[in-house]
Structure 1
Amino acid sequence: MTSTITVAAKEIPNLFQDDERPKAYSYVRFSTKRQAKGDSLQRQLDRSREYAAENNLHLQEKSFEDLGVSAFDRSNVTKGALAAFIRAVESGLIERGSFLLVENLDRLSRADLFDAMHLLDALVKLGIRVVTLADKRILDEESVKDQTSLIWAVMVFIRANEESATKSDRVKKAHQRKRDNGSTFAFGQGPGWLRPNANKTGWDVVPEKAESVVKVFELVASGIGSTAIARIANREGWPVPGKAKDWHKTLPHKLVHNRRVLGEFEPSIKDGKARRQTGDCWPDYYPRIVSLELFNAAQAAAERRRHLPKRRDAGYHNVFQGFLRCGHCGATLARKGKTSGRNSAGYALYVCADRDRGVTKCPNWNARELETKLIPPLMTSVSAEILKGSVKQNALEALDLERAALLQDTKSLQNLLHIVEQAGGSAALANRIRELDSAVEARKVHVMELSAVANDPVAAVWEDDVEQAIVDALGAVRDITDARMTERAELHESFTRVIRKLSVWAGSHAVLQLRHDDANVFIPLSEQAPLHMALKGGLSLPICASNDETAVFG
């Protein structure tokens, strides 16, 4: 349950009336749903009324209530209604000499003795008279000078803390036994696309929310970022897998890194005021809603995006983003759309970043013209790597997935080693570390094998397939609407996977550098593009097997 603060600080002045009686405030707290169904709330309020009537106190109509809030972890003091009461006293909205009525002292705190006594001391020094209704004892600046009152308070706080600690330990051990037995019992708060089943022996999928999560993974794998996905989800009205009413721009990012979609559960334990991961991993605790292949594909795409400059065009019109350079000076060529004026829709320029800063006078390119000149030779040069179903494309996709899995396993291994370093480890944790270490080494070998296949220079593709791919790519790029945004994002993702850099000399030529090949591909952009211009700026041309410097023409 959440904290319920019946009185906010701004409301408190309205509680004061012209009454000479000392003012009293009721503080009610309990920590479980079960208590909310019983008479705990009414009992505590009735006791406050009785005490106020017997002692001629002006009990305020509104009470401070922490319903379902723990005093063991100090939640009521740090963010609950009791915290609001203390702030009101500190600001003077509640005057010195007021009474705070509580059923027992342990309603205020069940934390360790030092924290509990610090809370009591703070209230008393603020001039508040704390009354425990069970025994009608008053703790204020005068009474705490009596050692008997202090010893009594110390004993109450020690007993309360020990009771809570014992109960907490008992619950932890019960959960651990169920974990050790491989139980899928539903406890705690599950992910937003699941709900506990009727008898709480497992979890049921909420179909419409799970479908939203799968869509997020598919779009991330295709190259679309978190902000764009949130915009699409809000526009199309996707159900939100959580408590929020709409999609925040960070939600897709959080979802795509959440391994609970694979059915995994990593238990954590309360360690003081914070939660600490145990390092355990329960496979198949939750129903799996995303395949391992799609999960790794999304991780690979997200990792590539992490190394790219932040995207500014929401419609993914710049399919060269991250690797297009000005050949004259080496700066980035950025695509800038025209935002005003007649016929502005669809009109854009590729602008040299250094020229934009006033550093150089490098020429700009009309976007439609440059894209029309570049995409056909680019698609031809990298067709083996990006056409669906080709040997190289399959190898590159497999390589991406294996690299993503290697990155995930490496991070998990590092996290486990950190846990052992900070808090020690168990035999189960040691076994998990050995398993992950073996998996990491095996994946490294597999990455090397797949890299050999991906870098194989002999890879045939059908000419008709290449021609159709060029037609599709040009169609998607020339479409100025969002209708083919996903196609543009996928094209950019395919280019990014295989292209390291593409340098362009306006009106002349371009030089393509691939990630998996040391050769540079010379692409003429006009009939007047002589080969010697490719050497300007100290660019190296590919070195063939004969070790002679030659150019490869696109």
Structure 2
Amino acid sequence: MTAYLLEYSRVSTSKQIDKMGLKGQRLTEDERDFLCNEYDLTPYHETFSDLAVSAFKINASERPSFSRIIELLDSGEVSSDSVLVLSNLDRLSREDINTAINTLTGIIDKCRIYITQERRIFDKHDSNLMPNLMMALICLSRANDESQAKSERVTKANLIRIQNHHDGVKGVNGLPLAIPSGRYPSYIDTNTETGEISLNPYKSEVMKTVITMLLSGLSVRGVQDWLVVHHPDLDWGEMMLRRIHTRKALHGEFNIMVRGKKHTLVNHVPPLIDEVTFYQLVQLRTENFKARTRTEGLISVFTGFKKSYCRSCGSPMVTTVSNGKEILKCRGSSDRKNPCKNVVCLLSVYLLNAVKSVNLNFTNLVPDYDDSKLIELQDKLAEAQKQKAMFEERLLTNFTNAMANLYDAKCVEVTELETAIEDEKLNNAPVTGLFSVMPTDPEQLRNHLSQLTTSLKFYRIKRGHTITSMYFKNGFVLNLYLMKGKLLKVGLLTGSNHDDKLLEDDDNFKRFVAGGHLQAWLDDEPIKQPPTLATLEQLLLTA
């Protein structure tokens, strides 16, 4: 098993990306050569970076790139003698000290860690591990203290600026003062010297033109095409244009959450249009969507429930209608700036017929319902509500800033737990209304797929050839190989449900393809007829 040199970097804000944030964390060629020679390593074929991701607010396991490192270490593909390189320990975590230390020791248990700024190695077999962990404790504690202090400063600054707005306080030039954590539209500029916000002359005029086009009835695609031709420097994607009518900042209203409370600031952002025009835009965009749905008159069986994705570019699959035919395409096919290089394009009816021919028994695909997490969350909520009531009572009898902070924090915790409970109920609600045979109604079939699957993954092999992989919540996997509408093959790509489930990760699937394993599966003799229901049930029982 190969011992790799794994390089990880992270920056907390988008502003750091273009500065020295990332560049300063990367190894030089000399440093890379030294580490490879010193610890007998092979550089891994890619480096890992999390951009604009906070280590104070987001756990390492939830960061996109770092979670891939964890999966790689857990996969058994790399040796535990591999070395993960960080410029500083705070790249790993800025969370509370218990969480940070658990994260650090969890990684040390999987591989070695090298800190370039300190030239320190963390190795579970090293006699110096304990002294190194004591130093790490100090560094991680200091990092958390810094982030806590910064977070409190920003929160207070937000509240001061919000109060400034309500009191009518303006900047030196008579313009509104920016909320530090406010996410302003792309046509708003923030003056870093005065702290004021103002319209960007160029972008605001383009946005006004865009709004006029939409009000005149031009489609989002038509507006996007116009932008690409006349304003290629503006990175305003299709989704931003489709959601433009949801931004009340267009008529001057600005909303921000601070300590779990929503603050609405009227006439804070320089308006582009008045409120009446804004709601005309909302009505028009809403009606256009309804009209498009009525005109098409088709049920998108395989899209629209946030589970269908293109393997190649990672973008969602969408349903379009051309000449009365429903077509499955990846959204990357319409991305003008970063188009998908392997666009999936498949007639929906082809896939629908293939799924129907397999004739799945959906009642056998229902996952076992586990309410343990829901009960745990409900217990935590009950305790948090009890503490919140206690803090509120003390606050009313003896107000202190410390007690106010505790009460605010508990309010946030209660809201987060209530949201988590709703999500858990939604994601793990008992499945109902299923058929033991394949439903003929498209809406019923769509309902079955949305309830029972974790994802649908689409991959284009070549023109007219696609593989659709269906991953079910109970662990069952079904792969359908279609050639120009004809179902050529059904089965497991690896031969086992467990291994096929690992291919739900697109990176694992791409490695599977690069290794020639997919081609080997395709080269086998195609089936002469779809498998029977009994065959699929046997696959499920042996998974």
Same structural fold, with TM-score higher than 0.5 when normalized by the shorter chain: no
TM-score by length of 2: 0.43
When Rg is computed on C-alpha atoms for both structures, the one with the higher figure is 1
TM-score by length of 1: 0.42
